[in-house]
Structure 1
Amino acid sequence: MISLLAIEEVLNEFGITERHEVKYAIQFYVPCLKQYVYINKQAGTKASGFVIHPRFEFYTNELTSIDGVETTGVFNHKSSMRKFPKRLNRGLEPIPFGIPFGFFTKDAMRTFIKKLSRIKPCYLRMPEDEIKDAQNSGEFDALTQTEVEQVIKGRRGQGKYREGLVKLWGKCSVTGCKQFELLRASHKKPWRDSSNEERLDPHNGLLLTPNLDALFDSGMISFDANGGVLISKSLDLETVEALALGLNTKLSMMPVETAKYLKYHREFIFLCG
């Protein structure tokens, strides 16, 4: 693997505009990616010197198909990676995580960065994959079987969680559509990043039509502190017009309990760039 210094030299070639170093990691903002990334100072000889946002997980196989690019195959967890979302990992408190990579040559890293810059990442995972991860990591160990079933149903948009959303919102949170069989139960703070309590909290959710659910879940839209829509620059103008997204698009109400969850979505899921 190339050295951490060599990784930073390549990042400089791509015009990094921010650099912040702490004990175990160095944070960078890379304009062409419109993303924060990290150098893992504890990588050693492992393929984990360069860590990117977990929203790119879906593209890991595509990125490691580049000659000279490898990954450890497991998430990298560090409290200092504060621009990344959090998840439980052995300890009692959630910790920021990302996808680690290593490079055999600088050219391999340059190709990697160029390819990454062309990806419009969708922060989506299949529910069954997330449920399996939670089971394997012991996140359900302290729950009763009934509680486990409710949490799993919540990830599938069913059961107690969906019932709570229907009671709270009574319609699509944006459009006002009341045909409930069409509406999807979405999490503001993603299920994978939430505690079991947060996973079942209806204030952590929205009832959305399928198109809005896909946009919100992938970070293509979010909502400000007043409930007004925020539209990612990753969406082209034609798409925005076709989906009828505009300045008047907003949440039908803003319960105070939803604020912390929407703040999390804006900070860690929304593709503002």
Structure 2
Amino acid sequence: MAIWIKPVNFNDFDVFAAYQNLDSFYWTKGRDDIKKGDEVFLYIAKPIQKIMFRTVCIADDVSSKDKDWEKDKPYYKKQDFNDHSEEVLNCVDLKLIQKCDDDRLSFGFLKKENMLHDFTFRYAISNEKHKQFETLFQHIKTIFDEQNEIIQKIENETTELKGIDKLAYVKVRVNQTKFRTQLLAKYQKCCLCGIDEPKLLIASHIKPWSVSQDTEKLDSYNGLLFCPHHDKLFDLGLIGFDEQGKILISPKLEPHNQILLNLHEEMKIHVNEKHQHYLDFHRQNIFQAA
């Protein structure tokens, strides 16, 4: 069994809508020798630039003349699609296994980690002739398997929830886990005191999850990694940070408790312009300045 990466031009084909309504869709083979049973990861090209779908080939001998391809046509965005309706194309049928939205599968991350080896996704395949891609494919499979394990664990913990409620809860938990993973990779230790034991570190939203927009909830710049007591202090508004990242200590925190918590006015965290919108919200709405 081979593993492939195939690029999807979102301007040509709406893969998100297709897999929301279909279990599988036809994909033209071209020069690819995709076989039944092969795994195919779909890379969504610009503007997304991320590997997001894990599929399996359930048929490698289908044709664009098959009636089953009719169900796929609404998701093709090209206006001239029917102009080539007389052309017979060899296709494979790709069944969705899993969707994963993780920044560690983005083109930028893979390039930064030197996993791309100057190739285009169109020719990425795992077999004996392409051993240089082993690290890349192992990384991709690890991310997808990791998410699947998280989902399975959450589902086992929520047997009392059904239908839409369960789907919503699982989505929230997966996103929270993803957010924590991003912050662990970014900071590796408490932003304030340097504790680096992962089990003791908490991914803290600067602008709370409950009032954040969808794009803000998973924005790593809306997060700081803290040890438990600094997370609690920040969450309660007993500490905050100015535009330079210098600590602000609420006057409501008694001096003797500041000493016991090892807080002092020289402490600071590293911030940049992308943090400012969130830090400003925290100062105005959460930090107890008086």
Is the TM value for this pair above 0.5?
A: no
Q: Report the TM-score, using the length of structure 1 for normalisation.
A: 0.44
TM-score, normalising length: structure 2: 0.41
